[in-house]
Amino acid sequence: MEIIMRNLCFLLTLVATLLLPGRLIAAALPQDEKLITGQLDNGLRYMIYPHAQPKDQVNLWLQIHTGSLQEEDNERGVAHFVEHMMFNGTKTWPGNKVIETFESMGLRFGRDVNAYTSYDETVYQVSLPTTQKQNLQQVMAIFSEWSNAATFEKLEVDAERGVITEEWRAHQDAKWRTSQARRPFLLANTRNLDREPIGLMDTVATVTPAQLRQFYQRWYQPNNMTFIVVGDIDSKEALALIKDNLSKLPANKAAENRVWPTKAENHLRFNIINDKENRVNGIALYYRLPMVQVNDEQSFIEQAEWSMLVQLFNQRLQERIQSGELKTISGGTARSVKIAPDYQSLFFRVNARGDN
């Protein structure tokens, strides 16, 4: 107990010495002259940023501004399920043809093609060479069908249930159990607590193609999307690709994303988490802070100060461990994590050495 208290005192002291106030300047942030932004007539927003490195390579993102937070109680896991189904059939590319088409271009899932669902967004990403114009055009056509023409065939939906269940099962380890034990502690008074993106396996097992389609049609609408192009590509060419492939999407309106404000907590809470398979003992401090909306110089500097704090903590901790000054500590880390649309957690952790 004495060693644990020494480690806790060290952690508190180190964090306190790094929490230094800074001067904030209120002024609008200038926009990079190379960045092109706009909106199509159907409501879809776009961003184009020409970048010469890596040469002859472009990254494309389709961002749906909706994630698991917008799910109803009987839809927990549907946003993530819909994301999976984009790779399991569209009007032009039925079944596994989307994946086969990417593979025929030499693109690999995970390396060049990927997608994820979070609490407040669903994002699809493809990276490919700009020298292969025909492939680039075909990828844009796939993005168009992801936006409006997914099919949700029953055979494909039923097959994907097992894929998602296995994805969930693969994470059932000590690290996952510790994370689950922390959730009620860290996410108290937030909707995030009951809307983990992977969802409920009961929902995954029983959701119907019609329910998936309803969620898709409710949120996958142009006014709820942003298309992003970054890479070694001419901005006029990129804009032409966007207009040719995405301007014809019907201008239907998505449902309005609801907001659930987080109830602030101004008191100290503690929790002890035990797991017989967890071989690392540690102490962590979490500070819940309002999310900084970076829209001017003042907020930019404030966010930069938090980033510097995290880097300084990590650097100073490693220096003192390597010097042998902290004999009871084997490692640690600091980072900032978004825990709700309006709140973030500043996280500091130190790990005890051996059985300390």
My answer on whether 14 and 46 are in the same domain is no
What residue type is 168 in one-letter code?
Answer: W
Q: Are 195 and 66 in contact (CB under 8 A)?
A: no
Tell me if 326 is assigned to some domain.
yes
The better pLDDT of the pair 250, 321 is held by 250
37 pLDDT band, cuts 50/70/90, is very high
End residue of a domain, out of 246, 273, 307: 246
pTM (2 d.p.)? 0.86
Backbone angles phi, psi at 296, to 5 degrees: -155, 180
My answer on whether 12 and 59 are in the same domain is no
Query: What digits encode the pLDDT tens for the residues 42-65?
Result: 999 999 999 888 899 999 999 999
91 pLDDT band, cuts 50/70/90, is very high
Tell me if 212 is assigned to some domain.
yes
DSSP state letters, 124-163: EEEEEETT-HHHHHHHHHHHHHHHH-B---HHHHHHHHHH
My answer on whether 196 and 122 are in the same domain is yes
Q: What is the pLDDT of residue 354?
A: 62
End residue of a domain, out of 202, 220, 246: 246
Q: Are 115 and 86 in contact (CB under 8 A)?
A: yes
Query: What digits encode the pLDDT tens for the residues 181-216?
Result: 888 888 888 899 999 999 999 999 999 999 999 999
Span 216-231, average pLDDT: 97
Tell me the residue ranges of DSSP E strands in 138-293: 225-231, 282-290
Span 159-180, average pLDDT: 91
End residue of a domain, out of 201, 217, 246: 246
The better pLDDT of the pair 266, 118 is held by 118
- Could you identify the residue written with the tokens 């002291």? 13
**Residue 114: pLDDT over 90:** yes
My answer on whether 317 and 191 are in the same domain is no
**Residue 17: pLDDT over 80:** no
Query: What digits encode the pLDDT tens for the residues 313-347?
Result: 889 888 888 888 877 777 888 888 888 888 888 88
CA distance 132 to 58: 11
Span 84-109, average pLDDT: 96
Least confident of 20-24, 108-112, 160-164, 295-299: 20-24
**Residue 26: pLDDT over 60:** no
Structural domain containing residue 51: 36-246
Q: What is the pLDDT of residue 356?
A: 52
83 has catalytic annotation: yes
**Residue 355: pLDDT over 80:** no
**Residue 20: pLDDT over 80:** no
My answer on whether 171 and 117 are in the same domain is yes
My answer on whether 163 and 277 are in the same domain is no
- Alpha-helical regions (H) of 61-96: 78-85
Q: What is the CATH number of the domain that holds 239?
A: 3.30.830.10
Catalytic one among 71, 75, 83, 156? Answer: 83
Q: What is the pLDDT of residue 41?
A: 97
- Could you identify the residue written with the tokens 């209120």? 26
Mean pLDDT value across the chain = 87
